[in-house]
Amino acid sequence: MKFRLAIRCLTTVLLAGFFTVGQAQENPVQFQTIKLSDQVYMLRGRGGNVGISAGTDGVFIIDDQVAPITSELQAAIAKVSQQPIRFVINTHYHGDHTGGNEAIGATGAVIVAHDKVHQRMSTDQFNNFWNETTPAYPKGALPVVSFSERVTLHLNGEAATVYHVPNAHTDGDGIVHFPRSNVIHMGDLYFNGLYPFVDLDGGGTVQGMIAGVKLGLSLANEDTKIIPGHGPLSTTAELKTYCDFLVRATANVQALVDQGASLEAAIEARPTADWDESLGKVWITPAQWVTFIYNSLTGKTTYTRIDANQ
């Protein structure tokens, strides 16, 4: 199934309602649109949070959620502007951020993403965390324009720059900065309110996530509005707290690695106990989060399963 990963990823993305996958497919989507500046909006629905720039030059969006709800997503965007969608920026290759590519691209929108996104969407991807293969996307869903380091769109009265963050949530992540509107879309480098997913099989590392969050902070000031990949609209202060959590949790696991602890021993030591109750009850478990960190620090490029429940 071409968008099987998209459906799997619903367990990460249904933060607004915390539905099960089955409930998510049966319940209508409840979209929430938040105006962040004269032309920039954040839209929450069923998938990664969408950024919208709407103005006299037309509309471009950041990510397009999951395939089954694309028509509803288009209708929600049309409530912001009746102008056509000219561009879609994908922050990475996962199906809960690229599921609408094919349908929206068919309307004439140009899909833009990092080179690695195009590469991964063009080929089958096996993921050890999900223990399954996502087939290559159809040609119409693939990025038409790809970039290596950064790309800037000059539309609706401001320049929006997409910065590549290597080996973070995946190997093709991009964060999008709207300097005039003072908005940053962090993609899945930022999971607001829960432990993040690090796609080790997709080239991700915790070290890269920390570097990417620090890049976002370097572009922000105290008034910047932060769009996370998942979760509610955030602030620079909250992103700083998230960065501190990533750094501290990684340091705790590094100390165990330095002591020669095995992955099993590191999990048993509960190095993330300070956050397990607040962040580890929604989706990613404490054991899974420790595994992401441990494997990142020890150079393992895949997810390690300790038992069937992991």
Dump strand ranges (E) for the chain. 32-35, 40-44, 50-55, 58-62, 85-89, 110-114, 125-127, 132-134, 145-147, 150-155, 158-165, 173-178, 183-185, 225-227, 234-235
> First CA to last CA across the chain, in angstroms?
23
Decide the pairing of beta strands 234-235 and 225-227.
Answer: antiparallel
| Residue type present at position 50 | V
pTM, rounded to two decimals: 0.92
Domain boundaries, the chain: 4-297
Largest CA distance in the chain: 59
SS3 of residue 166 by DSSP? coil
> What does each of the 310 residues of the chain score in pLDDT, given as a tens digit?
333 444 344 443 433 333 333 434 457 899 999 999 999 999 999 999 999 999 999 999 999 999 999 999 999 999 999 999 999 999 999 999 999 999 999 999 999 999 999 999 999 999 999 999 999 999 999 999 999 999 999 999 999 999 999 999 999 999 999 999 999 999 999 999 999 999 999 999 999 999 999 999 999 999 999 999 999 999 999 999 999 999 999 999 999 999 999 999 999 999 999 999 999 999 999 999 999 999 999 999 999 987 645 5
Cα 244 off chain centre by: 19
Residue in this structure with the two tokens 């705790």, named with its chain if needed: 252
Q: Is 39 exposed, middle or buried (0-12, 13-18, 19+ CB in 10 A)?
A: buried
Give CA–CA dist 206/77, Å, rounded: 33
Q: Which two tokens stand for residue 165?
A: 């963050």
CB 195 within 8 A of CB 293: no
Q: Which CATH architecture has domain 4-297?
A: 4-Layer Sandwich (3.60)
Q: Is 107 exposed, middle or buried (0-12, 13-18, 19+ CB in 10 A)?
A: exposed
Q: According to DSSP H, which parts of 129-260 are helical?
A: 206-219, 236-258
